Structure 1
Amino acid sequence: MDATSPSAPARPSLLVRLREPLEAAEAVSFDVFDTLFVRLIAAPEDVFDLVGARFGLKHFRRHRIAAQAQAFRVMRAEGRREIDLDGIYACLPDLGVPAEALKRAEWAAELAVLRLNPEVHAVLVRAQALGKPCILTSDMYLPAGFFAALCERAGITVDRLFISSEAQATKRDDGALFTRAAEALGLSPGRILHIGDNPASDIARGAEKGLATFHYAPDLGPARPTPDLAHAIVAGIARFQAFQPDRSPWWHLGYAAGAPATHALVEWLRGRAEEDRIDLLLFLARDGFTAHRLWPGEATPSLYFKASRVLLRLAAVTERNFEAQIPFLLSGAASVADIFARIGVELPDEAVLRDLGFTAETRYTRKRHAAFAALMRAMRWRILQVCRASRRGLHAACLQAGFRDGMRLGLVDVGWKGSTQAAFLAFVQDFFDVRVKGYYVCLHAKARKGLEMEALISGATHRGAIRRALYDNRVVAELLFSAPHASITGARLEPDGSVAFTQDPGRGADPRLPAIAAEIDAGIRDGVALLRDLLAEIRIELPVAALTAPMLALARDPSRDQAEIIGSIYNFDSWGSSRLFRSYAARLDPREAARGDSWPAGMRALTAPRP
């Protein structure tokens, strides 16, 4: 079992399940659409919207569907068994664009959105390695030439193509296309294995004709309605992860929900940074890790800046403001040991603590705040040592990043209220005369006033209720915008002039967290690569609302499986973590709560999944 998985895979891989049928068969037949190839759109008819968008024909989809229905009527009247693309377009009314141009555009759109299904492609590769003839068998109005172009584009070869529009025989009606294939191959039908997704045309008709059949039924999850073409494209990209069931659930979350949102953030940042004349864009650790990896080289100069709110706050602690910083030093505290560990100060000897009225495991409570504040004052000089070291180290890091007076800096962070930006300003303005603008995934309605900031998800793109729901379930966004390293809480200037950054893995933290973040990052980068490839070909600009829809759905209405795996993460926030308890990312089962585990108010529960 993968270390990042909460449970073992539900069933063996497709290749394993087909091992014996493949070995027994003398030839293998593959259905094309939704089997060997899948479309990167929500529904097949969305291709018609792509054609309509290209030519500015708002109602092309409706006309195209009607033309296909009419082509079937003409087919039956003429005694034929199947329609073809030419026949469909002969039934299309004059829309002001030549039918031939529309037909070529549909061909191109179909090619653009079709991708090899990874798990079925693996079966094709295995069958060919075994020396089995492999054929494509499809009920489709497109001609055989389209399928030849599709295979060439995908880099695969097959032995024969059996396409209903050219054979004038179908799978769906009477299985005659299967008979044609068996005769052409010179094999009895029982020696052919057919793999397809349609229970009727692929499985029932194939079995009736004597073929060995395998019903390919991937787990695509519940279908969500798509209000427009943009949402249909994003839904298709998000769904494509389902065809790689061997990947971890975290990779799937990154691919389906993180990739579109990260692409939206990167594209939005490109425009904003250029318009705002940003000299250097700082992707803050850890939130900016993946977005920075995807940042285009030709865009605004950028840097993955290893600073966090905690590091910035600690670096700003001085003798003058120490008293005012005590609430921050104690915020989210669990015990004496936790407080000193997260600051990076060595825990005092037991005798010293005892003299001060504490033990290492003394729990912090509001009633004990005054006593804990007194402890901070007693250990003031040790704490200030750490803070001064971080201040020097962070200043050196700024110099090495090229900070200079007059610069306009951009900060990239997830959100939510601008506290990190305020801490950055408080630190950097002691050394440099710079202007700073914050760029966020989403901002809370009560974000700090007086800061120059804006967000990808804003009132211009989403209703207030949606933004509030994302904030309430912000662990989802923070999980998708994370990094496979621990929080940066300290900086130290080394003798050779380099800067060493201290990471805080937390206390009692979920040991899976680095691997989870790495898997999510891999899923996001794979998903963005596919999305960029598709958009470069279809040349459609996707709005923020469509690109962020999967992430918002994950936050507002996760599936039960999604809620369970995200809810299994504990001690996600290193600053507030402790070995004394586990803080989960979602509400706990009452039996778990009875064991003393907690659910902190700062990490709200996921919306309860639907049964």
Structure 2
Amino acid sequence: MPAGDDEIWREDAVLAGIDTAGLDLISLDVFDTLLLRRCGPPEAVFPLVAQAARACGALDGAITDYAFTLLRREAEARARRDLIPAAGRADITLDDVYCNLRLPGSDTAALARIERETERRMTVANPYVAGFLRHLRRCGMPVMLLSDMYLSASDIEALLNTAGLPRGAAYDRLYVSCEQGAVKSGGGLFRRMLADRPSADPARMLHIGDNVMADQAGAQAAGVQAVLYAPPPHWTTLTGREGRLGVPQQGPLAPLRGMTARAGAGTHDRFWFDFGSLVMGPVAVHFAEWVLRHTAERGVRRIAPLMREGGLLSELMAAQARRLGLDMDIRPLHVSRGALLLPGLEGFGAAELEAISADSVYRTVGDLAGLLGLGPLPDSLAGQAGVPLIDLLGAHRRDGSGAFAALRDWLLDPARQAAVRARIGHARGLAGDYLRQELGEDGPVALVDIGARGTMFERIARAGGGRHDLHGYLFYATPEALHRMAAGMRIHTYMPLTAETIERARIIYRSPQFLELLLNGEAETTTGYRRAEDGQSVPVTEPAAVPDWQRAALRAGYAGIRRYAGLCESLGVGWGQEADPAAVLGILFRAVHLPTPEEAERLGALVYDLNDATRATQTLCGAGARHRLAALCRTVRPAMRLSVALQTRPSEVPWPQGALTLECPGHLEDMIDGARGDFGHRAICRQIIDMVQAAGAGRLVVCAAGGRGGMGPTFIGAAREAGLGLAGYADLLVPAQGDAFEGVPVLPLAAAAREDCRFAAVVSVGYGSAILKALREGMHGDSRPLHCFWFDGTEFRTTVIADGRDDREESL
């Protein structure tokens, strides 16, 4: 970590709340607390091992990354199942894992070595916890590290050294389960630490870690205080929804966003701060990093991000350029669709009128008259003042309706047409002068816009008279941008141009308003240009017409974006380059396409000014939009609601997915889960969860079969996402799961039947009846009814067991 960043720990909401007064010793968990993997979760290491192993011949070329991940996971499970009970050992080693991975054509010793090397390459210090650790050492606090891990102490010490946390300076001693013969769960590893300090008082010690069973319950079992350093619930919910849409959770985005999720929001509203840091932060920061690298490599020094988001992007790029020592001229360009509408016209006739009319679904007849500087509309057109031009044009093209023809005849009266052409010439002169002042006439210029068609680049080129060497940069692009590329326009896109990303870009572009709002912040709208006293052409701007609460929300969103940028800066160069652009696009796609109910409610309340030579504003999910979506849901069969909603007019339903989330709760989730049509367990789990919630249960025991290969992990993830509490996990086939499975306390099936919690989810299609039999046997003598929710392979059922023999079915 760069010097001077040690105080960053105070921005971590959990660490900042720890009072060390009265403590004699602090212990820390290692992985996912003090150390992070820049590739993401622990299993993200396995594909990297496979790639390196195939490259050096240690793994058969037919074994894909996915296959190796499954095999490596199974080998670890087999080692835990066979070695721990048979040998009476507390934990396994990495060599034990690879002894259980005997693949023909592979070199197991080389695979183990490659995994150690990959861990060293991927592991970095968590800047928050590392800063807190250094603070503790400056205060003279003894610090111990405890880890339930198959890597040896020497392996982990090497990782700590590489992360700048050497023994002695950063901590006093490291305790590792596979060498100490004890694990944290149940308190065993803590007792080993205490045995080395017989005079120490456990009540004056504190342990910090991320696992509720190992770090919190384990420490407390040994009499040690504990602080749970777990990801906040909103982060778990967000990543769960992204996973449902196939957004990758590997790579540096996972640890970067996970760390940012822990940041305190200060005086800002938590929702807006988190949305800024976790959704908009990655979009803005990594796009800005990419533009800066791309332009520097090609010798483009002048970078002109387009307003209104240009203010934020300029700020981010300028900071990155200073950090990298790049001499770049980065200044925002004050342009807008409305400001460049007249300067972009070659003349004014019937063709230009039709182009203006088709350009916006919002621009009305009255807006056009004001834009062209004309007086009041004639009586014959006064009644059309509030009608969108595109509606008049559509009717004219459809059946020759006279309203558009009357407007055309009035506008193209020779005297009036000459006045309009003069106004266009004046506007073009002002805009051209402004562009020359800002962009110069020598050397290439990078124009930067979020998305999506390249229209603004085309308008700038036309308004500038084609004299500038322009290079356009877009975060995301629709097929229209590709058409412009084919016509010779130089456009570079951050997102990869694949069928999947282009389809996602089209869905984002259907409802881009909150993306633009949160990146624009409080920037004013450019409405045109004027001649200043010194002869310079300067932009004319107006403040956005939004309520005060929205300004506070936008400020909180900006604070979140800056928090994400600051964290990236503290970690140093390289992380942004490793971020997968398709995954960054996926983050934004999820926010648009599968919002949480709170996102739909709060983002949907935002007021958006259209910024295209109209005075119109919209509420993204206002009463009118919700009413139209509710009516649509009553008339369209459920399977078609989303597709039909996306075809509604943006002027009437700006954000269909938000309105659907509010009007038909759960519908988008059902559509997405059902559309997968695979052998995954999620649809079954969702239905069982709906049954549990309909019964009024908020907490339950999970009864499954097959460990990680069964339905249990999927159900646990879906239950947490739904806000259900999990009292325990019991497995018919793999009872030896340690003290916790996926963070849930492990119980024998007989004990699960006697838990105080009287609701159980039986999550196995093939073994459901056998699990119920085991629960029934465990309930002999217990008259309390146990409500079991399950799927028998053909129908969903609720079975109530009492006294171990009295079964009945309930209808919910």
**TM-score normalised over the length of structure 1:** 0.73
Q: Which amino acid aligns with 1:64?
A: R
Larger radius of gyration: 2
For residue 312 of structure 1, give the secondary structure of its aligned residue in structure 2.
coil
Of the three residues 335, 338, 358, the one matched with 1:310 is 338
For residue 236 of structure 2, give the secondary structure of its aligned residue in structure 1.
coil
**Aligned residue pairs, count:** 572
Structure 1: stretches of 5+ with no match in the other structure: 1-11, 594-598
Q: How does 1:118-197 map to 2 (within 5 A)?
A: 124=133, 132-155=141-164, 157-172=170-185, 174-185=186-197, 186-197=199-210
For residue 507 of structure 1, give the secondary structure of its aligned residue in structure 2.
coil
Change (3 A) 1:112 1:570: farther
Is 2:633 the counterpart of 1:584? Answer: no
- Aligned partners of 2:216 and 2:301: how far apart in 1? 61
- Aligned partners of 1:446 and 1:289: how far apart in 2? 26
Q: How does 1:4-15 map to 2 (within 5 A)?
A: 13-15=13-15
CA contact (8 A) 2:522 2:551 kept: no
- Aligned partners of 2:175 and 2:463: how far apart in 1? 69
More deviation, 249-258/467-476? 249-258
- Aligned partners of 1:216 and 1:256: how far apart in 2? 18
Q: Deviations over 1:51-77 (max 9, x none)?
A: 222333534434433443454434654
Look up the match of 2:263.
Answer: 244
Q: Which amino acid aligns with 2:76?
A: Q
- Aligned partners of 1:551 and 1:328: how far apart in 2? 28
Q: Which amino acid aligns with 1:106?
A: E
- Aligned partners of 1:528 and 1:158: how far apart in 2? 25
Q: Please state how far the C-alpha of 1:384 moved relative to its aligned partner.
A: 7.1
Q: Deviations over 1:180-235 (max 9, x none)?
A: 21222331323322233323222333322222233343323222438999652244
Q: Please state how far the C-alpha of 1:386 moved relative to its aligned partner.
A: 10
- Aligned partners of 1:107 and 1:256: how far apart in 2? 31
CA contact (8 A) 1:314 1:390 kept: yes
CA-based RMSD of the aligned residues comes to: 5.2
Of the three residues 243, 259, 262, the one matched with 1:225 is 243
- Aligned partners of 2:38 and 2:426: how far apart in 1? 53
- Aligned partners of 2:16 and 2:326: how far apart in 1? 45
Is 2:475 the counterpart of 1:441? Answer: yes
Change (3 A) 1:587 1:143: farther
Which structure is higher in RCO with an 8 Å CA cutoff and minimum separation 6?
Answer: 1
Q: Please state how far the C-alpha of 1:178 moved relative to its aligned partner.
A: 1.0
- Aligned partners of 1:275 and 1:216: how far apart in 2? 41
Of the three residues 46, 49, 52, the one matched with 1:51 is 49
- Aligned partners of 1:409 and 1:216: how far apart in 2? 47
**Percent of matched pairs sharing the same residue:** 23
For residue 582 of structure 2, give the secondary structure of its aligned residue in structure 1.
helix
Change (3 A) 1:313 1:183: same
- Aligned partners of 1:52 and 1:262: how far apart in 2? 32
CA contact (8 A) 1:254 1:480 kept: yes
- Aligned partners of 2:142 and 2:624: how far apart in 1? 53
Is 2:497 the counterpart of 1:488? Answer: no
Is 2:425 the counterpart of 1:425? Answer: no
Q: Which amino acid aligns with 1:244?
A: A
Is 2:613 the counterpart of 1:604? Answer: no
CA contact (8 A) 1:193 1:214 kept: yes
Q: Deviations over 1:475-526 (max 9, x none)?
A: 2442465465223333345455655333221334543476356336425634
- Aligned partners of 1:274 and 1:27: how far apart in 2? 49
Change (3 A) 1:528 1:302: same
Look up the match of 2:555.
Answer: 515
Is 2:587 the counterpart of 1:553? Answer: no
- Aligned partners of 2:208 and 2:294: how far apart in 1? 49
For residue 468 of structure 1, give the secondary structure of its aligned residue in structure 2.
helix
CA contact (8 A) 2:453 2:481 kept: yes
Q: Please state how far the C-alpha of 1:23 moved relative to its aligned partner.
A: 3.1
Look up the match of 2:219.
Answer: 206
Look up the match of 1:61.
Answer: 69
Q: Which amino acid aligns with 1:81?
A: A
Look up the match of 1:366.
Answer: 387
Of the three residues 592, 600, 608, the one matched with 1:571 is 608
Q: How does 1:496-511 map to 2 (within 5 A)?
A: 496=534, 499-508=537-546, 510-511=550-551
CA contact (8 A) 1:137 1:161 kept: yes
Q: How does 1:388-427 map to 2 (within 5 A)?
A: 388=426, 391-392=429-430, 394-403=432-441, 411-427=447-463
More deviation, 193-202/495-504? 495-504
CA contact (8 A) 1:335 1:363 kept: yes
Q: Which amino acid aligns with 1:53?
A: Q
CA contact (8 A) 2:301 2:444 kept: yes
For residue 571 of structure 1, give the secondary structure of its aligned residue in structure 2.
strand
Change (3 A) 1:34 1:409: closer
More deviation, 50-59/550-559? 50-59
Of the three residues 456, 462, 465, the one matched with 2:500 is 462
CA contact (8 A) 1:71 1:83 kept: yes
**TM-score normalised over the length of structure 2:** 0.57
Structure 2: stretches of 5+ with no match in the other structure: 1-11, 393-402, 629-649, 667-812
CA contact (8 A) 2:272 2:554 kept: no
- Aligned partners of 2:455 and 2:281: how far apart in 1? 26
Q: Which amino acid aligns with 1:35?
A: T
- Aligned partners of 1:367 and 1:46: how far apart in 2? 52
- Aligned partners of 2:359 and 2:162: how far apart in 1? 59
For residue 261 of structure 2, give the secondary structure of its aligned residue in structure 1.
helix
Is 2:91 the counterpart of 1:82? Answer: yes
Change (3 A) 1:335 1:114: farther
Q: Please state how far the C-alpha of 1:289 moved relative to its aligned partner.
A: 4.8
CA contact (8 A) 2:625 2:654 kept: no
